[in-house]
């Protein structure tokens, strides 16, 4: 009976561990569509050494117009710790301001949080992973 209980406990623990497995630092890499479907942001390692994560707008619904945001870097986060990219900034091209920022990937979605002061005092945008950029318009 004790062996059976131990096996049941071990298998339950394995299931729970899998369900709550932390996402890895690489999970943020790729193309992410905004909730409004008006931009795609590409997250990838920054060009500069140090292992930081950078995000830039690679597709904009308004490409080629005066409100075009193509190519704008909207995030630079210095380190991955405790399931999130931290120690950096996010930029909101709508209000042209930089904020402290955190990026997390959970259940296949990317959550970009911008805040002033402490993380609790902020706003989060949810982005969905896309395999490719929309065909038009094209960022130049």
pLDDT for the residue 120 = 87
92: β partners = 97
pLDDT for the residue 33 = 98
35: left (phi over 0), alpha (psi -120 to 50) or beta: alpha
Burial group, residue 137, by CB count within 10 angstroms (0-12, 13-18, 19+): middle
- Domain positions in the chain are 23-130
Alpha-carbon distance of 90 to 116, in angstroms, equals 11
The CATH classification of domain 23-130, taken from the options 2.40.128.520, 3.20.20.80, 1.10.1060.10, 3.30.365.10: 2.40.128.520
In tens digits, what is the pLDDT along the chain, a chain of 140 residues? 444 433 333 333 333 333 334 569 999 999 999 999 999 999 999 987 788 999 999 999 999 999 999 999 999 999 999 999 999 999 999 999 999 999 999 999 999 999 998 888 899 999 999 999 999 999 98
pTM of the predicted structure, to 2 decimals: 0.81
pLDDT for the residue 117 = 87
């Amino acid at each position: 009976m004790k062996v059976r209980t131990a096996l049941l406990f071990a298998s339950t623990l394995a299931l729970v561990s899998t369900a709550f497995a932390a996402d890895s630092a690489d999970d943020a890499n790729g193309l992410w569509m905004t909730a409004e479907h008006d931009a795609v942001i590409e997250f990838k390692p920054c060009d500069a050494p140090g292992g930081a994560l950078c995000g830039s707008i690679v597709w904009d619904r308004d490409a080629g117009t005066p409100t075009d945001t193509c190519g704008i870097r909207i995030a630079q986060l210095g380190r991955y710790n405790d399931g999130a990219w931290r120690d950096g900034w996010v930029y909101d091209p709508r209000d042209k301001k930089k904020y402290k920022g955190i990026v997390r990937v959970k259940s296949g979605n990317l959550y970009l949080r911008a805040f002033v002061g402490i993380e609790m005092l902020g706003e989060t945008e949810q982005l969905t992973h896309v395999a490719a950029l929309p065909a038009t318009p094209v960022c130049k």
